[in-house]
Chain A
Amino acid sequence: MGDLAWIFVSSMVVNNFTLMLFLGLCPFLGVSARIDTALRMGVANTFVLIMTAVAVWVLNAFVLPSAPYLRLIAFIIVIASLVQIVEMVIKKLSPALFRALGIYLPLITTNCAILALAIFQTNREYGLLEGVVFAIGSGAGLTLALVLMASIREGIELVDVAEVAKGTALVLLIAGSLSLAFMGFAGLLSSS
């Protein structure tokens, strides 16, 4: 159990996917202007992450040992297919949810965080439960980073910012500060 707790805390804050590992930056810079869109993007990502973790475990356990060089192709095909399937399922089951979330789903395919999860899970040889906890933790971490960034950006909307810094440069500076703050989480659950 201690292992699972460490995996969760590590993937959520200590080695946060966005702020410490630089994964999932494209949505982070593009979709983090409003809190509700950020939250929805984060939730959609977490959902896909969990499904990816399960799919990757299945692949690693049963299919890939015989063809390790096909790993990358298999992962990317599975991820793209999962996103398509999730999109179709959500559209059928809940048109309201689709209208809220649906536009973000295709963006998730090229989100490097998903593929990175697949690769990390493989390299660390996580079992099914560890993989799912890892996915939940990293998804929570992504959502946390997105929502924090969105709150700050909403807060500074009316502030007078220097012309040259407007736009991505400002977001990167904020991200750097958030990253600096998150470095303080290192050592959580690690000492004994």
Chain B
Amino acid sequence: MESPDRLTVLNPTGFAPKITRKELAARLDTLDGKTVYLVDCRFDDSDVFLKQLQAWFAEHMPAVKTVFKPISSVYLKDDPVTWKEIQARGDAAIVGVGH
């Protein structure tokens, strides 16, 4: 029985959706000879950053083909056209720069 100096109160938090675990895509054995898309989220000079990343690959891993690819609009919008292009023509993706 509840003691008189103990209160019962309601939990103020909302209802969290269930989490459905998703598996990662299969990783590549090597990047050599592969096409890596550098996906520019078009936020806070991310294009300048990714072009430097592209330069790094050219210097250090020239066997990797990189494609600089800005998303079609703002990062707030899904961009299935770009995602399908990467799926069809790319082997991997690096997305940046999130903050």
Interaction A to B: no
